[in-house]
Structure formats: C-alpha cells, structure tokens
Amino acid sequence: DIVMTQSPDSLAVSLGERATINCKSSQSILYSGDNKNYLAWYQQKPGQPPKLLIYWASIRESGVPDRFSGSGSGTDFTLTISSLQAEDVAVYYCQHYYSSKRFGQGTKVEIK
Amino acid sequence: EVQLVESGGGLVQPGGSLRLSCAASGFTFSSYWMSWVRQAPGKGLEWVANINQNGRERYYVDYLTGRFTISRDNAKNSLYLQVNSLRVDDTAVYYCARDSTVAGFFENWGQGTLVTVSS
C-alpha cells in the first residue's frame, strides 16, 4: 500500500505570509498511461467535514481561492497558500487515489 | 445542491453492530461511486470502503474486510455501511462521500455520524 507522509505536522504563519505544506508518497503516484499525478488536497476546519481544494496535484476545485496552489510530481508534492488569511486556519490533508486511497496524517495551519 | 446526510451512529458496546445510512440528494445518485471515510477523535482521515454505481464492485481498506459491508439502494438514493464486531478503536465520525466521476478523490462530503464504541 502507498503511504502518504506530510510535513510539517503543524505550522504557524503570519497573516499575509506564505504557507507551504509538503506531502511525500512511498512510491510514485504518476500514472504513465495518462501522465497524471493521482493526488488531491483537502481542507478541514474545526467541526466541519473536509473540503476538496486540489486534484490531479495541481487543478484547483471550482470556487477555491487562487491563493491555494498545488505542485509536484512523482512522489513529492506541495500545497502552497500564497497569502494566509484568517479563514485558512485548518488542517490540510493530501490523499492519493492511485491504487486504493490513503490520506496523509494532516498538517495543522495556525496564525502566528 | 449536493447533499449527503448520514445517520445511524450512536453508542454501542464492544462486539456490537450498527448500520449507518447516507441519504443523498441534489444529484443523480446512481451515476456515482460512493465512499465511507472515518475519522477517530482528534485523528486523521481514513478511507474505509467504496462501491460502484450498480453495487457490484466493492472495495475495502485491507484490515476491515469481513467486519464492514458497504451497500447501496439506488431507488432510495441511499448508501449504507453495516459495521459488525465493533471494537473500541472503531470509534470515529463516519463520513459519506461522493467520488469524482473521473477518479478516486472526493468531491462532496456529508457532515458525518459519530460512532462510539464503549462499555
């Protein structure tokens, strides 16, 4: 099974500053048949279900602010919040859907 | 608007059983793969199972096969999860989620139903 490991476990960023979350898969999740990375990112605010932010590693879901971006390929991926807003305080999860499905352990983003 | 509403959670003793339900609306339920994802208190997300459009394909996380059974009733726009031989570490919020039509990520989530396994 493919294991997803996020880093850091938590980070504190000042309002307006950049937040960067990393996600590493234990094997490549780039499928050669379609050249797509089978990776999604979710945001979960306290007391709420997760919300899809990014899929195919870099495609922003409709309605997601453009300060959220995803990048990476193969085994190493990044979610970037370019200018942190107060409403971005949440736990962020990566998820592979290459074979079966598995989430990373989550990264908690707070305001410094 | 897509709506997924879970029910059926509650307090159950170890070894007990529950049937969780998810009522879907706002989309053509029979056209989508559906999943259950759980989250233990204060912990991360864990995909549990999914089922294809006609119910003939079902997949489970390895270590839950045999105790959990996913099913659906397209006539009732409903998804189910039968959970048997419950253990304390099955305590979690169980979310119903709609899979994307193109791949295995989750486009929509319900609010979840809490299952507490305790004596």
Query: Do strands B10-12 and B113-117 pair parallel, antiparallel, or not at all (unpaired)?
Result: parallel
Closest-CA distance of chain B to residue A94, Å: 10
**Between chains, do A103 and B109 touch, taking CB under 8 Å as contact?**
no
Report how far residue B30's alpha carbon sits from residue B55's, in angstroms, rounded to the nearest whole number.
9
Report how far residue B106's alpha carbon sits from residue B98's, in angstroms, rounded to the nearest whole number.
6
N- to C-terminal Cα separation, chain A: 36
Closest-CA distance of chain A to residue B60, Å: 8
- Is the pLDDT at B47 greater than 90? The verdict is yes
**Residue A67: pLDDT band by 50, 70, 90 thresholds?**
very high
Closest-CA distance of chain A to residue B11, Å: 19
B chain contacts of residue A49, beta-carbon cutoff 8 Å: 95, 109-112
Report how far residue B116's alpha carbon sits from residue A42's, in angstroms, rounded to the nearest whole number.
25
Mind giving me the DSSP string for B29-47? GGGS-EEEEEE-TTS-EEE
Confirm if B3 and B109 have CB atoms less than 8 A apart: no
Give the number of other CB atoms < 10 A from CB of residue B31.
10
3 state SS of B62: helix
Report how far residue B114's alpha carbon sits from residue B95's, in angstroms, rounded to the nearest whole number.
9
**Chain A residues 24-83 within an 8 A CB cutoff of chain B:** 38, 40, 42, 44, 48-52, 55-56, 61
Instruction: Tell me what percent of the residues of chain B surpass a pLDDT of 90.
Output: 95
Structure tokens at A100: 């079966």
Confirm if A108 and A8 have CB atoms less than 8 A apart: no
Give per-residue pLDDT as tens, A18-52: 999 999 999 999 999 999 999 999 999 999 999 99
What confidence score (pLDDT) does residue B49 get? 97
Nearest to B117 by CA among B84, B85, B81, B91: B91
Q: CB of A100 within 8 Å of any CB in chain B?
A: yes
Tell me the mean pLDDT in the region A89-106.
Answer: 97
Question: Measured between CB atoms, which of A38, A49, A101 is closest to B110?
Answer: A49
Give the number of other CB atoms < 10 A from CB of residue A78.
16
**Between chains, do B106 and A102 touch, taking CB under 8 Å as contact?**
no
Confirm if B88 and B14 have CB atoms less than 8 A apart: yes
- Nearest residue in A to B113, CA atom: A49
Mind giving me the DSSP string for B64-99? GBTTEEEEEEGGGTEEEEEE-S--GGG-EEEEEEEE
Q: CB of A103 within 8 Å of any CB in chain B?
A: yes
Question: Measured between CB atoms, which of B44, B62, B111 is closest to A105?
Answer: B44
**Between chains, do B35 and A101 touch, taking CB under 8 Å as contact?**
yes
- Is the pLDDT at B64 greater than 90? The verdict is no
